[in-house]
Amino acid sequence: MKLATIKNDTRDGQLVVVNRDLTKAIRVSEVSKTLQEAIDNWDTIAPKLEKIYQQLQNGTASNTFDFDPTQAMAAIPRAYHWADGSAYVTHVELVRKARNAELPETFWTDPLIYMGASDAFIGANDDIKIENEDWGIDFESEVAVITDDVPAGVSVKNAQKHIKLIAIINDVSLRNLIPNELSKQFGFYQSKPWTSFAPVVVTPDELGNSWSDTKVHLPLISTLNSKIIGSPNAGIDMTFNFAQLIAHAAKTRSLMAGSIIGSGTVANQGSPNGSSCLAEVRCLEIIKNGKASTPFMSFGDRIEIEMKNETGNSIFGKIDQTVKSYKPMS
């Protein structure tokens, strides 16, 4: 099934079930007001939502309305846990190569994960508001999963059972703030401001055979100002699958229901189908030409991120955002 959270003037929005074509939706307040409430009680609530989804699909549902993706908030507009991996190690290797740094051998066996800002999630069509263009504004196209409660010390085998929903996201990065933050060794903070979600999240069964080994085996298409920057396949070169990322995240403590685990920038070795962020484009230019020629994003730039199934239909709807200048109050 497909689910979305739509704006209703509350911080948490309203949960709706959306049909497969992303054209019709139905409010489900009587089953669950929010996606967080649903994931808190997934075993009892998911079957009820599935039933509504089937009615929506076969045309027997009443009180449906036209689904408007511009009204979508992030799937969980404020969440309790957002951990983003860097599971496509080929991307990390490329970034290191561009600055003549070695990739530690352990990066191929020990997942990289950083803790992100789970209170800074925005909707698929919300503006990316940034104060300063000089901060090096970049998009990062990723796949993410949403879990139910994960016990501490979960095995990789058992971790996969806790994947309840799949999302695609734009993890906005401020590239020029990253070197200083990384040098302090405390991880990303100011350099990771906003993360946006595509209009809907889906249960794994919606992906059919494209969901296997807890990876999504489909291209993720990133388009900047109407030009495709990349469409790497998210199922190729994912060194750590989602089950492995979850087991890593839960090594020393449990994860709360509604935890969101990201894949990191999707990338394929050699980047034959382009890239999922401008940083990678620039690294390829540096390796080839000695310097980067593609700039980071500017105010007014439009980024679209989408994933289509094998018959060409949009699975999650489209992230479609514009970078806007933000002026803090004095």
Q: Which residues bind its own copies (CB under 8 A)?
A: 11, 40, 78-81, 83, 86, 104, 107, 110, 112-120, 129-131, 135, 151-155, 158, 174, 177, 180, 182-191, 193-194, 248-249, 251-256, 259, 326-330
For CA atoms 180, 183, 184, 187, the dihedral sign is positive
Report, in Å, the least distance between residue 89 CB and its own copies: 12
Distance CA 17, CA 50 (A): 9
Report, in Å, the least distance between residue 74 CB and its own copies: 12
Distance CA 264, CA 325 (A): 26
Nearer of residues 17 and 130 to its own copies, judged by Cβ: 130
Report, in Å, the least distance between residue 88 CB and its own copies: 15
Nearer of residues 58 and 185 to its own copies, judged by Cβ: 185
User: CB neighbours of 243 closer than 8 A, spacing ≥ 6?
Assistant: 156, 157, 159, 160, 163, 214
Nearer of residues 63 and 330 to its own copies, judged by Cβ: 330
Nearer of residues 54 and 155 to its own copies, judged by Cβ: 155
Residue 33 tokens, joined:
């007001």
Residue 279 tokens, joined:
């940083």
Dihedrals phi, psi of 258, to nearest 5 degrees: 90, 10
Report, in Å, the least distance between residue 75 CB and its own copies: 14
Nearer of residues 151 and 272 to its own copies, judged by Cβ: 151
Nearer of residues 193 and 274 to its own copies, judged by Cβ: 193
Dihedrals phi, psi of 314, to nearest 5 degrees: -65, 130
Nearest to 2 by CA among 44, 35, 36: 35
Report, in Å, the least distance between residue 244 CB and its own copies: 14
Distance CA 151, CA 20 (A): 32
Q: To which residue do tokens 């994931």 refer?
A: 39
Contact 278, 292 (CB under 8 A): no
Contact 25, 4 (CB under 8 A): yes
Q: What angle do CA 11, 16, 19 make, to 5 degrees?
A: 145
Nearer of residues 130 and 234 to its own copies, judged by Cβ: 130
The H or E element containing residue 40 is: helix 35-40
Report, in Å, the least distance between residue 298 CB and its own copies: 17
Report, in Å, the least distance between residue 69 CB and its own copies: 23
Nearer of residues 142 and 206 to its own copies, judged by Cβ: 142
Q: To which residue do tokens 């903070």 refer?
A: 189
Report, in Å, the least distance between residue 219 CB and its own copies: 27
Give the CA distances from residue 112 to residues 88, 96, 107, 206, 295, in Å, rounded to whole numbers and listed in that order: 10, 14, 7, 28, 27
